[in-house]
Amino acid sequence: MSQMNAPHLNAPATVNTPVYPLAPLPASALDGVRRRRIAALGLDLVFVTLLSVAIWLLLGVLSAFLLWFILPPIFPFVAFFYNGLTVSGARMATPGMKAMDLEMRQTSGERVSFFRAGVHAVLFYLSWSFPPVFLFSLLASDKRCLHDMLAGVIVLRRV
């Protein structure tokens, strides 16, 4: 077999494939993401709390106040659907994230599915039971938290 028809024998055996096709990310995509996420979280917690209270009051009034004695905590359900519906939507962000100019994508670069966004919310709220977990973000070059890594998502500045 001639050298001309042979594949490149000097080519490296392995090819470095990025963890997600968005890599290498421009610095502007991650600029101030941690600060902005904290502010977005504050806004979203206010929105979810107001929605939870409104639903709790509405269900109480509609049931002649009888459901108030047996209603399970509504906040986790509201938070799951709030995150799932908003992040999987066209804007790829919760209202708090949108206000802070952020969006969430899967590590493949695609839009986050409803289920994955909901799982991300559950993992996030579970992370609060052990707050040092949030320090993973300081070690990750792409500024992802542990719950982001487990859910397979990344939060970026809106381009």
> Does residue 71 form part of some domain?
yes
> Does residue 108 form part of some domain?
yes
Q: DSSP alpha helices (H): ranges in the chain?
A: 27-30, 33-62, 75-87, 95-99, 114-127, 136-139, 146-151
> Does residue 11 form part of some domain?
no
Per-residue pLDDT tens over the stretch 41-89 = 999 999 999 999 999 899 888 888 887 777 778 888 999 999 999 999 9
Domain range for residue 104?
Answer: 30-157
> Does residue 102 form part of some domain?
yes
> Does residue 14 form part of some domain?
no
How many domains does the chain divide into? 1
> Does residue 7 form part of some domain?
no
Per-residue pLDDT tens over the stretch 91-130 = 999 999 999 999 999 988 889 999 999 999 999 989 989 9
Find out whether 37 and 96 touch, Cβ atoms under 8 Å.
Answer: no
> Does residue 138 form part of some domain?
yes
> Does residue 3 form part of some domain?
no
**pTM of the full structure:** 0.77
